[in-house]
């Protein structure tokens, strides 16, 4: 059973990771860059002589790993799903380098026996050599089998994130569609997330899914890619969203975008084949590309 105070004091170690241009290209390939091998935008993310590291790669660098799988947490790992994610880019990632971060639990919420628990974590990604802050990362994990650990429930050790303003009541300003590969999850896991839920049919069935599902961060990264491609000349500098439903590899992701002024937008993403919302409450901030 979950012990809130134990999780809030969880002894995360600092993670230091060296990455190369090859890692950046592998990450881009896992987001489908390169499917159009004559397209200049694709090649910019997969060829070393013009390489740009895609911003959401920050999410997979110096990651704390599957810490919820540690039996001492009291968490039922088989029923853990990614709930929410946010990313703020303070400085573009170098083409290669060494980064460091330390995860911390900032809130643990008991939603009740039937609803599970929510754990919010934060970490900051720094350049290990210069000390510069590269990205701020926060996320929420839903532990579907671990609610009811506290009789009163519903108490959090930190304020909940501010509610996302509602998106406009109008048709989207842009719609983007992107098919995914049937092997998408098998490729994306090479970025460091080896949760069998995304690869092993037996593990997926044990978690209540008919087959392995795509990583939430894969859908998140694909949305980020479609946002940038929908607004040429702009780069992503912040993005956050809630994971509403899982995607299955091979399905088509459709992203609807609403502009809010010049540099901010709302978005949501749907699975075309099943007509279900995959990412909701999406917000993103853009900055003009430097000449």
Catalytic positions are 193, 198
Instruction: Write down the number of H helices and E strands in the chain.
Output: 6, 11
Instruction: Give the Cα separation of 232 and 22 in Å (integer).
Output: 25
Task: Note whether 76 and 146 are within 8 A (CB).
Answer: yes
User: Which residues make Cβ contacts (< 8 Å) with residue 151, sequence separation at least 6?
Assistant: none
- Residue 13 structure tokens: 């170690």
- Look up residue 58 and give its two tokens: 């920050």
d(CA 150, CA 148): 5
Residues 6+ apart with CB under 8 A from 228: 234, 235, 236, 286
User: What are the phi and psi torsion angles at 55 (to 5°)?
Assistant: -60, -35
Compute φ and ψ for 255, nearest 5 degrees.
-115, 125
């Amino acid at each position: 059973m979950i012990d809130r105070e134990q999780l809030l004091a969880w002894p995360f170690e600092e993670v230091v990771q060296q990455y190369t241009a090859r890692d950046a290209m592998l990450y881009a390939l896992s987001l489908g860059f390169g499917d159009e091998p004559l397209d200049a935008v694709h090649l910019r993310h997969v060829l070393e002589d013009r390489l740009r590291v895609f911003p959401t790669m920050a999410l997979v660098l110096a990651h704390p790993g599957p810490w919820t799988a540690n039996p001492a947490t009291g968490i039922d790992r088989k029923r853990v799903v990614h709930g929410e994610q946010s990313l703020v880019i303070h400085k573009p990632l170098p083409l290669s380098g060494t980064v460091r971060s330390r995860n911390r639990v900032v809130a643990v919420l008991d939603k009740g026996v039937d609803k599970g628990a929510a754990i919010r974590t934060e970490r900051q990604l720094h350049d290990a050599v210069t000390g510069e802050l590269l990205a701020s990362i926060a996320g929420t994990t839903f532990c579907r089998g671990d609610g009811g650990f506290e009789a009163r429930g519903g108490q959090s050790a930190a304020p909940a994130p501010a509610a996302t303003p509602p998106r406009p009541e109008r048709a989207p300003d842009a719609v983007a569609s992107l098919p995914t590969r049937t092997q998408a999850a098998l490729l994306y896991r090479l970025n460091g997330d080896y949760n069998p839920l995304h690869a092993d049919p037996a593990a997926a069935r044990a978690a209540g899914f008919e087959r392995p599902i795509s990583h939430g961060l894969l859908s998140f990264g694909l949305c980020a890619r479609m946002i940038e491609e929908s607004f040429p000349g702009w780069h992503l500098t912040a993005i956050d969203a809630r994971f509403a439903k899982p995607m299955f590899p091979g399905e088509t992701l459709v992203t609807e975008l609403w502009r809010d002024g010049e540099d901010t937008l709302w978005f949501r993403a749907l699975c075309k084949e099943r007509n279900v919302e995959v990412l909701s409450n999406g917000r993103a901030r853009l900055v003009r590309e430097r000449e």
